[in-house]
Amino acid sequence: MSQNTTRRIAVVGLGYVGLPIAVAFGKLVPVVGFDIDEEKVGELRRGIDRTGEVSAADLRAAQVQYTSQPADLKTADFIIVAVPTPINETLQPDLTALRRASELIGANLSPGTIV
What is the CATH T-level fold of the domain 9-107, as seen in this structure? Rossmann fold (3.40.50)
Q: Give pTM, 2 decimals.
A: 0.91
User: Which tens digit of pLDDT belongs to each residue from 8-39?
Assistant: 999 999 999 999 999 999 999 999 999 999 99
User: Which tens digit of pLDDT belongs to each residue from 29-81?
Assistant: 999 999 999 999 999 999 999 999 999 999 999 999 999 999 999 999 999 99
Task: Give residue limits of the domains in the chain.
Answer: 9-107
Cα separation of 27 and 47, whole Å? 15
Starting at the edge strand that comes first in sequence, how are the strands of the sheet with 31-34 ordered? Answer: 64-67, 31-34, 9-12, 78-81
Across all residues in the chain, what is the average pLDDT?
Answer: 94
- Total number of residues shown for the chain: 115
The reported pLDDT for the residue numbered 6 is: 80
